[in-house]
Amino acid sequence: MLSPVSWSGGGVHIIRQTLLPDREVWVDLKTVDEVAEAIRCLDIRGAPAIGVAAALGMAQAARLYAGNDSGELIEAVEAAGDLLAGTRPTAVNLFWAIERMKKKLSDLSGRDAVGIRTGLLEEAQKIREEDIAFCKAIGEHGAQFMPDKGGILTHCNAGALATGGYGTALGVIRAAVEAGKDIRVYADETRPLLQGARLTTWELMQDKIPVTLICDNAAGHLMQLGRVQACVVGADRIAKNGDAANKIGTYSVAVLAQKHGIPFYVAAPSSTVDLSLKSGERIPIEERDGCEVTSPRDTCFAPPGVAVFNPAFDVTPNELIRAIITENGAATHPNMAKELEEMVLSTSRA
Ligand code: MRU
């Protein structure tokens, strides 16, 4: 199974997603600065994968501190957590993973430096392994919602590449295919950074799951033609009421799906749910450099100096979402908020 981020023994082992699909380059990130830069530039991306990378980066910080003073070691790990927290603002899994590592650090504070280092690496690896297990559970819960035969539209990449492995939205699709369903995936190209065109197609083609690439603006036409029976996407942060932030353009897909009577699903682990936010309005939306829009892959096709608005995410209101599928089942209306909260608490109690 493809896993985009793991511990190699000497560093945080990642596949450089900015180079896909042209080149498959794996690297070991040796310093916390390298991990932070990989998250910032989207070499490692997708909410759960960012969380796993940050946790491993904090474990790496503990290893890089060569001394024996546990107080200094704790300070070094906390500083690494602060640096990593400043990389991207929207995916809450990043902050969730950093908090979990800081909690572990505090639980380990009575130990010597060796014990702290070992304990932190074990925790980071646990976060990764749990994420893979949760993706598989999301797949099992979500497959029933997929049509026995038909087209499923997805936006961005919420696959193995975006998680510890297996994927959330693509996990649901994988599980449906494994259950024998006859499915064709329609992958939105996902402007401006083309996660759909570059990553979703690549990953599905490797698994021999039928996939057709479309321009983002072809989605409505495809729905009019009756070729989409369900939409499933991932999420970067889900508020308490079920409003879900995901890659820019997701909201447009949800509106189109509603217009055409097509069910729209969000698949995400409970680490993506932010119970501190009552609704989606408060979700911080990352804005990225305008050159991603004017000059993708260094080919400029807009007049120099043009004003650009480049939000990386948008928020889909819960009323457009048929179900939010987590590792603990599906939250649906009319009790979506309550069911979502129960699912989050059930994992945090376990
Ligand atoms: O900017 P990205 O590529 O990190 O955005 C990723 C997405 O929007 C994904 O859909 C989301 O993180 C869910 S990943 C399982």
223 and 94 in a common domain: no
Amino acid at site 172:
V
Cα 43 to ligand 1 centre (Å): 12
Contact 57, 33 (CB under 8 A): no
Q: Residues 189, 251: one domain? A: yes
Cβ of 47 closer than 6 Å to ligand 1, yes or no, is yes
272 in contact with ligand 1, CB cutoff 6 A:
no
Here the CATH number for the domain that contains residue 182 is: 3.40.50.10470
Query: Does ligand 1 lie within 6 Å of residue 156's CB atom?
Result: yes
Average pLDDT along the chain: 97
Q: Are strands 273-274 and 26-29 parallel, antiparallel or unpaired?
A: unpaired
153 and 126 share one domain? no
> Domain range for residue 43?
5-136
Name the one residue in this structure whose structure tokens are 């040796």. 30
10 shares its domain with 102: yes
Check whether residue 67 and residue 143 sit in a common domain: no
- Residue 43 catalytic? no
Using one digit for the tens of pLDDT, what is the confidence trace for 127-137?
999 999 999 99
- If asked whether residues 106 and 174 sit together in one domain, one would say no
Residue closest via CA to ligand 1's atom 6 equals 46
Is the domain of 122 the same as that of 202? no
Looking at the structure, tell me whether residues 200 and 59 fall in a common domain. Answer: no
How many structural domains is the chain composed of?
2
Instruction: Please indicate, yes or no, whether residues 129 and 273 belong to a single structural domain of this protein.
Output: no
Verify that 155 and 249 share a domain, yes or no.
yes
Largest Cα separation within the chain, whole Å, is: 66
CATH number, domain containing residue 125? 1.20.120.420
Of 45, 170, 200, the residue with max ligand 1 atoms within 8 A of its CB, to mutate for a pocket test, comes to 45
Closest ligand 1 atom to Cα of 50 = 4
**pLDDT in single tens digits along all 350 residues of the chain:** 899 999 998 899 999 999 999 999 999 999 999 999 999 999 999 999 999 999 999 999 999 999 999 999 999 999 999 999 999 999 999 999 999 999 999 999 999 999 999 999 999 999 999 999 999 999 999 999 999 999 999 999 999 999 999 999 999 999 999 999 999 999 999 999 999 999 999 999 999 999 999 999 999 999 999 999 999 999 999 999 999 999 999 999 999 999 999 999 999 999 999 999 999 999 999 999 999 999 988 899 999 999 999 999 999 999 999 999 999 999 999 999 999 999 999 999 98
Give this prediction's pTM: 0.97
The answer to whether the CB of 80 is under 6 A from ligand 1 is no
Q: Report how far apart, in Å, the C-alpha atoms of 269 and of each of 119, 164, 298, 303 are.
A: 24, 11, 35, 42
Residue 122 sits in the same domain as residue 159: no
Examine the fold and report which residue of 106, 136, 166 is the final residue of a domain before the chain moves on. Answer: 136
